[in-house]
Structure 1
Amino acid sequence: MAVPKRKMSRSNTRHRRARWKASVPRLTPCPCSRKEMVVPHRACAHCGLYKGRRVVEP
């Protein structure tokens, strides 16, 4: 098993951890109502449409 030979400095540790951020989900307006914001490639929870077809009952 790999074991570090030297202690990692505080600045290197923080520099590495700075990249671990949660990203804001991209939202697009629903194609049917243009009011609801929907995550791309997901069915709209408000109207149940996906790519112009009803896939989920609202």
Structure 2
Amino acid sequence: MAVPKKKTSKSKRDMRRAHDALSAPGLSVCPQCKEPKQPHRVCPSCGTYKGREILPAEEL
């Protein structure tokens, strides 16, 4: 079984982990209801996408 020959320093460990942070999802504004929504997805508040009603109002 492979075993490290030397202890990994805190600096090397933290530099490796520097790219592991999560980023917040991008948000855009719905042109119909002006609520924030994820781009290229149906608006969860009004149910429209590209100016067309996808989800009926009673499902929301």
Task: Please indicate the TM-score interval, normalised by the length of the shorter structure.
Answer: 0.7 to 0.9
Gaps of 5+ in 2: none
Q: Given residue 20 of structure 1, which amino acid in structure 2 is its aligned partner?
A: D
Higher helix share: 2
CA distance in 1, matches of 2:38, 2:12: 35
Q: How does 1:1-58 map to 2 (within 5 A)?
A: 3=2, 6-7=5-6, 8-34=8-34, 36-57=35-56, 58=60
Q: Kindly report structure 1 stretches of 4+ aligned residues shifted beyond 6 Å.
A: none
Gaps of 5+ in 1: none
Structure 1's 4 and 40: CA in aligned 2 closer, same or farther, altered over 3 A? farther
For residues 2-58 of structure 1, what are the alpha-carbon distances to aligned partners after superposition, in whole Å with 9 as ceiling and x for unaligned? x57644332111101011111011111111012x10010110011100111111223
TM-score (norm. length: structure 1):
0.75
Instruction: Kindly tell me the number of residue pairs found equivalent between the two proteins.
Output: 56
Q: CA RMSD in A?
A: 1.9
Q: Given residue 53 of structure 1, which amino acid in structure 2 is its aligned partner?
A: R
